Amino acid sequence: MNKIGPESFPVNATDEEACDYAMASVHAFLHGELPDATADEIRRHLMICERCMDDFNIEATISTLVQRSCADAPCASQELRARITRLTLLSRRAS
Ligand SMILES: [Zn+2]
């Protein structure tokens, strides 16, 4: 399998390749680290790809939780952050 880089979304790629790319870029996308053109391509893919949309919703929810927990209520957030970190580690170990 080809290594997927963050610069060029595979416009003419098969659906599976586009999915791989979208998933590989999910964190950069959510953190606004992608070039506008690339982010647009991913957004467009999400509009037509239910599978990625579901995955992105999960990632986006976690990311939002983490960001929110960093922003306010440091006491309550510490436990939440620890819980999210544990979940992330568990899912990484599983894959
Ligand atoms: Zn997809």
- pLDDT tens digits for range 39-67: 998 888 888 898 898 888 888 887 777 77
DSSP H stretches of helix in 12-73: 15-24, 26-30, 36-48, 50-71
The confidence score (pLDDT) of residue 1 equals 42
Looking at residue 93, its pLDDT comes to 64
Domain of residue 41, residue span: 15-94
pLDDT at residue 3 above 70?
no
The mean pLDDT of 13-32, rounded to a whole number, is 84
What is the count of structural domains for the chain?
A: 1
CA of 44 to the centre of ligand 1 (A): 10
Distance 60 CA to ligand 1 centre (A): 15
Q: How far is the CA of 74 from the centre of ligand 1 (A)?
A: 36
> Average pLDDT of the chain?
76
In a domain, residue 35? The reply is yes
Amino acid 35: pLDDT: 92
9: in domain? no
- 30 in any annotated domain: yes
Q: How far is the CA of 45 from the centre of ligand 1 (A)?
A: 6
- Expressed in angstroms and rounded, the spacing between residue 6 Cα and the centre of ligand 1 is 16
